[in-house]
């Protein structure tokens, strides 16, 4: 009997451990429909399943979409639009009716996991902010009536413009005029209901407006020396992490450290107007592809390293009826004909062969705000540049050819009979060539990229009897 009890305890422990793992970082997609040329909802759900997408967020409760999602095992976030906030806030009966028609009618066959009440309400020109928290409470109360409140969370996506300060991250704070009327009441509601803060985060807009001081590599999750936050001493290697931690810092400043976060929108446009700096297919592919890798493999942020994030990419399709600059109609991963705008993985399986495609070496040489410790654009400390075994043979060979040719690296030691010829592997030879180039360039920013085929290490590498030198 005692053995059986121990076995059951071990089983429960292992299941809880498995559950905590599977509840880690997750990627979802926003399915917007501001277009007149999109495929049917049934085809869209088939497309999502074919890509291994496990979460989707929609901007309404369209019956065709919710029916198509039925039985798909795709978790869904639905939206109560801003124009309904007043009614939902003023009349509990309206909230009951809305939940009955748009949630209870489909759940649980359609796996609705959360309700976004409004969207970026604080910048809504119709001044609906004062109705937000009452509407959230009434919708939650309607969920209680149907006994859905333990399964379906209620929140509201906020834009980064809700912050009064976001740089450096440690100085993150909410706009003072919002704190008492709406921020604190909303955070109290999230705490009481076990929900999370929804945040829309777009490094693209920050880069577009400040490309003279923000490195493109920093914005695209590419290798870079990082930016040190003078307020807390943490080093950031991506603008995304810095922006998210600014929100976490704002929460901490108000004593809401226990509130978790879901990034309900983030993305990068594949096309823009001439004035929209950084909008391109290559940059969009790099941002979203590297973000997927960062979320599925990377854990939390520098401020909250153990907190995995759920992130929804914006968006599934290019939407031809969206107003505004060209970029607004070109955030999609897919064209309306279901062809990919660019090829990136959306699952762990897809990441196995993913490499950020970019021209060899071409790095961004600008210094970022905060510097890297030595003020001259070089990586400080004793470092070496080595090849990534995950880059793929073709990518490594192309980068090796560049380094030993046009790049001017000293590749004599990897010739037959020379000191670093053995081990005679592509990765070892490429590491020697990449490091030679990197050291000759004085460890300059951007000199250890090689199309994502190389990375910096802080301990001297050794391949067989060959040690990679420094050339200070």
Set 208, 265, 276, 319: catalytic member: 265
- Strand duo 235-236 + 466-467: pairing: unpaired
For the question of residue 177 being annotated catalytic, the response is: no
For the question of residue 54 being annotated catalytic, the response is: no
- Phi/psi class of residue 39: alpha, beta or left (left: φ > 0; alpha: ψ in -120 to 50)? beta
263 burial type by CB count under 10 A (0-12 exposed, 13-18 middle, 19+ buried):
buried
Give the span between the Cα atoms of 94 and 398, in whole angstroms.
63
* Helix-, strand-, coil-residue percentages of the chain, each rounded to 5: 40, 15, 45
Query: DSSP H helical segments within 23-81, as ranges?
Result: 41-50, 63-69
Set 120, 208, 223, 319: catalytic member: 120
Tens place of pLDDT for every residue, the chain, 472 residues? 444 444 444 444 333 333 333 345 899 999 999 999 999 999 999 999 999 999 999 999 999 999 999 999 999 999 999 999 999 999 999 999 999 999 999 999 999 999 999 999 998 888 899 999 999 999 999 999 999 999 999 999 999 999 999 989 999 999 999 999 999 999 999 999 999 999 999 999 999 989 888 999 999 998 887 888 889 898 898 999 999 999 999 999 999 999 999 999 999 999 999 999 999 999 999 999 999 998 998 778 999 988 889 999 999 999 999 999 999 999 999 999 999 999 999 998 888 878 776 534 333 333 233 333 333 345 556 788 888 877 778 888 888 888 888 788 899 999 988 999 999 999 999 999 999 998 888 887 677 877 778 888 878 888 888 888 876 4
List the Cα angle 319/279/288 in 5-degree steps.
75
The terminus-to-terminus CA distance of the chain in angstroms comes to 69
């Amino acid at each position: 009997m005692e053995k059986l009890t121990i076995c059951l305890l071990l089983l429960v422990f292992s299941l809880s451990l498995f559950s905590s793992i599977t509840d880690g970082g997750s990627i979802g997609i926003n399915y917007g429909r501001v277009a007149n040329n999109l495929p049917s909802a049934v085809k869209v759900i088939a497309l999502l399943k074919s890509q291994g997408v496990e979460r989707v967020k929609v901007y309404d409760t369209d019956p065709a979409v919710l029916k198509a999602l039925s039985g798909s095992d795709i978790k869904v976030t639905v939206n109560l639009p801003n124009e309904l906030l007043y009614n939902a806030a003023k009349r509990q009966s309206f909230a009951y009716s809305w939940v009955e028609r748009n949630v209870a009618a489909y759940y649980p066959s359609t796996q609705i996991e959360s309700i976004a009440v409004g969207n970026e309400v604080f910048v809504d020109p119709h001044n609906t902010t004062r109705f937000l928290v009452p509407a959230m409470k009434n919708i939650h109360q309607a969920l209680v009536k149907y006994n859905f409140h333990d399964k379906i969370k209620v929140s509201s996506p906020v834009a980064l413009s809700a912050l009064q300060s976001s740089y450096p991250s440690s100085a993150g704070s909410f706009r003072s005029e919002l704190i008492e009327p709406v921020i604190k009441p909303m955070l109290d509601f999230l705490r009481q209901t076990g929900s999370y803060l929804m945040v829309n985060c777009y490094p693209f807009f920050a880069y577009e407006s400040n490309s003279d001081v923000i490195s493109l590599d920093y914005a695209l999750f590419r290798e870079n020396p990082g930016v040190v936050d003078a307020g807390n001493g943490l080093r950031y290697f991506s603008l995304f992490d810095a922006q998210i931690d600014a929100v976490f810092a704002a929460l901490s400043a108000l004593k809401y450290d226990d509130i978790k976060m879901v990034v309900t929108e983030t993305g990068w446009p594949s096309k823009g107007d001439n004035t929209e700096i950084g909008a391109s297919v290559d940059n969009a592919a790099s941002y979203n592809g590297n973000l997927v890798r960062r979320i599925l493999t990377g854990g939390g942020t520098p401020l909250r390293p153990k907190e995995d994030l759920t992130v929804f990419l914006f968006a599934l399709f290019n939407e031809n009826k969206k107003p505004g600059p060209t970029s607004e109609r070109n955030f999609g991963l897919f064209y309306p004909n279901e062809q990919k705008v660019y090829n990136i993985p959306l699952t762990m399986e897809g990441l196995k062969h993913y490499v950020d495609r970019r021209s060899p070496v071409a790095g961004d040489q600008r210094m970022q705000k905060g510097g890297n410790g030595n003020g001259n654009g070089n990586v400080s400390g004793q470092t070496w540049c080595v090849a990534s075994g995950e880059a793929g043979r073709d990518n490594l060979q192309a980068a090796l050819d560049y380094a030993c040719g046009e790049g001017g690296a000293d590749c004599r030691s990897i010739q037959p009979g020379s000191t670093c010829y053995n081990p005679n592997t592509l990765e070892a030879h490429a590491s020697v060539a990449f490091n030679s180039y990197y050291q000759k360039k004085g460890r300059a920013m951007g000199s250890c990229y090689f199309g994502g085929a190389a990375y910096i290490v802080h301990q001297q590498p050794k391949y067989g009897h060959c040690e990679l030198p420094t050339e200070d």
